[in-house]
Amino acid sequence: MRIQTVTAVYFSPTGSTERTVRTVAQSLADALGVPMAELDLTRPESRAKEYSFTETDFVVVGTPTYAGKVPNKLLPDLQRCLRGGGALAAAVVTFGNRSFDNSLAELAAVLGQDGFCPLAGGAFAARHAFTDKLAEGRPDWEDRKQMEAFGRSIADKVKTLTDIPAPIQVPGDPDAPYYTPLGTDGQPAKFLKAKPKTDLSRCCGCGVCTRRCPMGSIDPQDVASVPGICIKCQSCVRHCTRHAKYFDDPAFLSHVAMLESHYASPKENQVFL
């Protein structure tokens, strides 16, 4: 099959998924000798459009894992704005050193429903959005080498194709419920309504949090106000140069402490071809 372009498509509030998808896609494009394009779906205005592909495209689509699945506020946008048109695809997820659970299976299934032909899947560990204590520094150099090898392996598979392959089989259940966050007491930690706070003594009003929020939920006229939905992605926290954004919800902090206590051991990346 003749691929003319490899496109990296990603939703990446804190940057790890972007780096992962770009590395895989660039390695794949280099191995196929074709150009690489990018489509960043992180901002809400980018997800308001529709993007169509054809059989001459290969698309590497990546999202972070939220509660063991594709972020629930992103899922309808993926289903609406991406049109596969028979393009080959790879599903890629990142996870914060706990588990990717069912996110990869769900993303692969969504791509198949959107008209793509998913023939590869990969799950890669990355620094947890909530804390530096989980997978700090990842993806690191060794992770990058594995991503590049994954891209080359996909290219090798593409070069041998004479017909449309069967969809890749990856572990997990696309229809499974979301993981229930737990606190240090082992009970469900309920922080759905938690939103970031702002230390006004540090805030300079630059608005980077507003521009970076993937839901467009922070008031640009008053960055301490979050009238919209918060998906706890930590984009505002991670990108604030003054360290003015933070979460103080007790249930959220208890969940973070539980994760730090139980999931410190480095997790391995997994790929499926």
Same structural domain, 216 and 127: no
Same structural domain, 168 and 202: no
d(CA 106, CA 29): 25
> Would 84 be classed as within a structural domain?
yes
Residue 53: CATH number of its domain:
3.40.50.360
Same structural domain, 138 and 231: no
Considering only residues 166 and 194, tell me which one the structure prediction assigns the higher pLDDT.
194
Q: How confident is the model at residue 1 (pLDDT cuts 50, 70, 90)?
A: confident
Same structural domain, 45 and 82: yes
3-state class (DSSP) for residue 159: helix
**pLDDT (tens digit per residue) in 160-193:** 998 888 899 999 999 999 999 999 999 999 999 9
> Would 153 be classed as within a structural domain?
yes
Same structural domain, 226 and 110: no
**pLDDT (tens digit per residue) in 100-116:** 999 999 999 999 999 99
DSSP element (H, E) containing 89: strand 88-95
Number of domains in the chain: 2
Same structural domain, 218 and 149: no
Q: State the pTM of this model.
A: 0.96
Same structural domain, 11 and 140: yes
Domain that holds residue 203: 197-248
Q: Using an 8 Å Cβ cutoff, are 73 and 105 in contact?
A: no
Same structural domain, 32 and 148: yes
> Would 134 be classed as within a structural domain?
yes
- Shortest CA distance to 28 belongs to which of 144, 153, 122? 153
Residue 235: CATH number of its domain:
3.30.70.20
Tokens of 63: 């999202």
Between the alpha carbon of residue 183 and those of residues 41, 180, 232, 258, the distances in Å are 31, 10, 16, 6
d(CA 253, CA 248): 7
d(CA 212, CA 201): 21
- Shortest CA distance to 61 belongs to which of 91, 22, 25? 91
Q: Which residues pair with 256 in a beta bridge?
A: none
> Would 189 be classed as within a structural domain?
no
> Would 184 be classed as within a structural domain?
no
Mean pLDDT for 231-245 is 97
> Would 187 be classed as within a structural domain?
no
